[in-house]
């Protein structure tokens, strides 16, 4: 996560996400591109421009390389993915939701579209709305307790290598590796990384059916206070059913954990 794209709609969640960027410094974060999508024909908004420039100034003051990109488009998800493809960013970071009236940039379906289609890592930072309408981080220490859902062994395609790289760079411990089909799991951490083959053999992930995964993830997440769920890219297809109330949809919409999707194909 050395170079990231952070789409914003100037909602409170978006501003809070920028305030928490130092969480990612542990992975060697150097450059942040702040991306704003304008609707074609929308009137120029001086307040919006000042707000965006203020956000960039804050990132610069925090020691990051930072730049602002303002693009036009009617489909925010398409513009986010296009900007990602045209840059050297390795991660797209999104707040869990945004209610910006101008673009509706980060309202449910757009975030899910980015999560499903992105060829880079996608990090969904979770914020929750309280009974009084206030917004807070679901877990102020995002990397405190992590659940990693493994793909079938034959679909790994570098996923565990990327997980090991992430855990090692961030010196992350308190991780649970899960075979979501069987529920079998093992504790893990940066000081006891193992070879990909050994992990899959230990958890018996060879040949399990992808259709079994949502239930296993949900049940495990309910049993512990996980702050982050890490998913391989091959599990993105179940996200298609999110608007039909699928179990994976429950993970994205109802879980308090942030979500990191790591491509593995």
133 and 150 in a common domain: no
Strand pairing category for 121-125 and 91-95: parallel
184 and 120 in a common domain: no
Neighbours of 53 (CB within 10 A): 12
81 and 200 in a common domain: no
191 and 129 in a common domain: no
Q: Would residue 174 be called left, alpha or beta, if left means φ above 0 and alpha means ψ between -120 and 50 degrees? A: left
201 and 177 in a common domain: yes
Q: Of the candidates 137, 160, 177, which is a domain's last residue?
A: 137
159 and 126 in a common domain: no
Q: Of the candidates 117, 137, 157, which is a domain's last residue?
A: 137
- 140-152 average pLDDT score: 91
Its sign, for the CA torsion 248, 245, 139, 125, is positive
Mean pLDDT rounded to a whole number for the chain: 84
Structural element, H or E, at residue 258: strand 258-262
127 and 161 in a common domain: no
Write the DSSP assignment of 166-225 as a string of letters. HHHHHT--SEEEE-TTT--EEEE-GGG---HHHHHHHHT-TT--GGGHHHHHHHHHHTS-
235 and 115 in a common domain: no
155 and 78 in a common domain: no
15 and 82 in a common domain: yes
Q: How far apart are CA 189 and CA 180, in angstroms?
A: 19
Q: How far apart are CA 159 and CA 155, in angstroms?
A: 9
Neighbours of 3 (CB within 10 A): 18
Q: How far apart are CA 21 and CA 6, in angstroms?
A: 10
Model confidence pLDDT, tens digit, residues 37-96 = 988 877 767 888 899 999 999 999 999 999 999 998 988 999 999 999 999 999 999 987
* 99 CB burial (10 A radius; 0-12, 13-18, 19+): middle
The CATH number of residue 180's host domain is 3.40.50
pLDDT at 188 (0 to 100): 95
Name which of 74-83, 231-240, 256-265 the model is least confident about.
231-240
Q: Are 107 and 99 in contact (CB under 8 A)?
A: yes
Q: Are 118 and 111 in contact (CB under 8 A)?
A: no
Count structural domains, the chain: 2
Q: Which domain holds residue 189?
A: 146-262
- 108-118 average pLDDT score: 78
| Confidence category of residue 169, pLDDT binned at 50, 70, 90 | very high
pLDDT at 250 (0 to 100): 62
Q: What is the pTM of this model?
A: 0.89
Q: Of the candidates 106, 137, 168, which is a domain's last residue?
A: 137
87 and 11 in a common domain: yes
124 and 170 in a common domain: no
The CATH number of residue 36's host domain is 3.40.50.620
């Amino acid at each position: 996560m050395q170079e990231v794209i952070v789409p914003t709609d100037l909602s409170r969640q978006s501003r809070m996400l920028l305030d928490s960027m130092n969480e990612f410094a542990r992975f060697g974060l150097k450059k942040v591109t702040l991306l704003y999508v304008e609707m074609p024909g929308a009137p120029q908004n001086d307040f919006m421009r000042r707000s965006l420039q203020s956000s960039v100034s804050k990132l610069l003051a925090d020691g990051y390389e930072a730049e602002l990109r303002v693009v036009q488009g009617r489909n925010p998800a398409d513009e986010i993915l296009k900007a990602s493809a045209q840059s050297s960013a390795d991660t797209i970071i999104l707040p869990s939701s945004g209610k910006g009236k101008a673009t509706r940039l980060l309202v449910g379906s757009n975030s899910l579209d980015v999560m499903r289609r992105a060829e880079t890592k996608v990090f969904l930072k979770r914020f929750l709305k309280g009974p009084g309408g206030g917004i807070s981080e679901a877990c102020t220490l995002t990397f405190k307790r992590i659940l990693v859902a493994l793909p079938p062994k034959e679909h790994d395609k570098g996923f565990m290598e990327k997980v090991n790289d992430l855990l090692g760079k961030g010196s992350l411990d308190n991780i649970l590796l899960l075979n979501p089909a069987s529920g079998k799991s093992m504790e893990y951490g940066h000081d006891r990384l193992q070879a990909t083959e050994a992990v899959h053999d230990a958890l018996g992930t060879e040949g399990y059916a992808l259709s079994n995964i949502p239930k296993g993830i949900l049940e495990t997440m309910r049993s512990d206070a996980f702050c982050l769920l890490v998913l391989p890219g091959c599990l993105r297809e179940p996200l298609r059913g999110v608007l039909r109330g699928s179990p994976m949809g429950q993970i994205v919409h109802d879980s308090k954990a942030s979500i990191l999707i790591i491509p593995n194909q």
